[in-house]
Structure 1
Amino acid sequence: MDEWEVAGFLDRLKHRLTFASLYCDKKDRTAFTQLFKELFDTIHLVTGEQLKIHPFYPDGNCRVVIMDGEVPQAQAFGDFLSEYNNPEISNIYTRNHIDELGPHIPQPVISRLRSIMGLQTQVEIDEWHQFCTEQTEPAIANWYAHKLANPWILPSINKFLSRITPGDRDITPNHSNYVETAHAGRNAETSVGVGLLTAILQAKERDNIKARELAQILHEGVMGNRWNGSAEREKLSSQCKTWKMRSATIRNDQLTNYETLKAERDSGVAENKASLARQKELEFQIKALQADIALDKHRTDLPAQVLSLRRDIMEEKALRSEWGL
């Protein structure tokens, strides 16, 4: 049994709210279609009014519906909209899965695929399609084929292709974090794997607690966390991204320094081996000179040569000591 959250953010009260929890044991197109019907019917039953989506009702306050990029879910919403009103209006805003192609895909290729979200002319769109058709990597070919097989995906991530009005799109988040965090929060408070009735009763109790909190805020005019609005969250998100970029820069510098030091160490190891080889040769020459001295003690030049070779050995040892080897 899976639970589906319908959530949003009430900026006036600085709270994320779960408006509805739906339970279903299937994830196909038919099941999702029924979920959407049940949701809108329940809203009408509870409030006495139909939930109006702005593209279909000029006075509607629901501008955009954000959901996961599951194909059955999106198709089901399209089926629901065909009964709700005009089926030709695009009203799905979803995420893509470029990051799931794999680490073996070059970053320039990933960046080019991701650029679809910012293209603003038909010429740019056509060039992007041409780029995709020229790719031979199976993962990219499958990713692109998936987008062609589901023509609602690209309009949902590209403003130029979308039929959502620019004003509505500009005020719509480009993520589904509200519902994702609502789902995670619900799981943390009520656990997972519980029976259906238990899950419903736990959700009811949780919603009652939230309702009392909001009523207290409205009555007393005091919020537990008044710096929790969209603007504040965007600021914190921007600061977090800046910090991550700074950390990444520092790490890249450290990696560069590490590679430099590693190269120097490798060079030092090689030089150390060469120095030991030279010292061994010098010691061999000293032994040979000492043998000559033993045979002819009247040779006054040989001790001087031995002394010179010993100095060379000391220099080799001093060189190796600089590397600590």
Structure 2
Amino acid sequence: MTAGLADALLPAADDVRAAYADWLQRLGAERRLSPNTVEAYGRDVRILLGFLTNHLGAPPSLADVTSLAPRDVRAFMAARRANDISSRSLMRGLAAARSFARHLARTGRGEVSAFSAVRSPKIARSLPKPLPVAAACRIVDADERAGEERPQWVLARDAAVLSLLYGCGLRISEALSLTRAKAPTTGVDRIEVTGKGGKRRQLPVIATVQAAVADYLAQCPLHLPPNGPLFVGVKGGPLNARIVQAAVARMRGGLGLPDSATPHALRHSFATHLLGRGGDLRTIQELLGHASLSTTQIYTEVDAARLTAIHATFHPRARAGG
């Protein structure tokens, strides 16, 4: 369903519809949230308004929304739980509702305190799942896929993309947003990427990554305009992230890797392997483009868990009967 049609069918009174449309516009224009995030927030609030329509017996008006009590919000959360909605999705839905409520207050449409009075659901934090060093190196090696029935330049392209993820710690969207003019080919030891929230950062590019990109460019049979995408599909359009994900999925069986071996796992591997070799946490934060150091600190837990597992496996006193 398109956004326009979804908004037209919004289960709410006209004053709430107007506020909702204004809120979505501001999310994208002022807060510079990604289109996917704006769409997810909008969908969450539509679900909330649909619940309120049934809960209150009529499409909610601004007066209804501003008079909500914490028990109404808890009833909504309970209804979502009954549909097996995860804690993470519930948390995002509550964040969307709070954002909408703040918009109502900022624009003089009324105060809504009920959403802030309800605690966010607790989420069990899962640790990132990096790959072993040897496995990460094999995934980014084009020769590992030499037997695949795909053009050699496509294999070189995939290897170049994956090399950027592991060698520079890029998100896949950041790698695919590079232009031909900004290609980190041989002799180009730095790149600038734009991450989440429009935040730009400069990153060093090691020689092996430069060589992988140079190999792809040497083999690519398509014309790549300077301002066009560096990585393209077989028809010349921008490369889709799903193509890269599928390439890694094909490799997992041959390399004996778990389902957690994804392109994004290479970014986790970049951070974990740097930390394991004495990398400074603040520097790793800057390389990854994390806004908060606390986000980067999770990799210290990954490294500690790895060391604990090694200790338990190989220490002679850790073995049964030792």
- When normalised by structure 2's length, the TM-score is 0.23
Is the radius of gyration larger for structure 1 or structure 2? 1
Structure having the larger proportion of residues in helix: 1
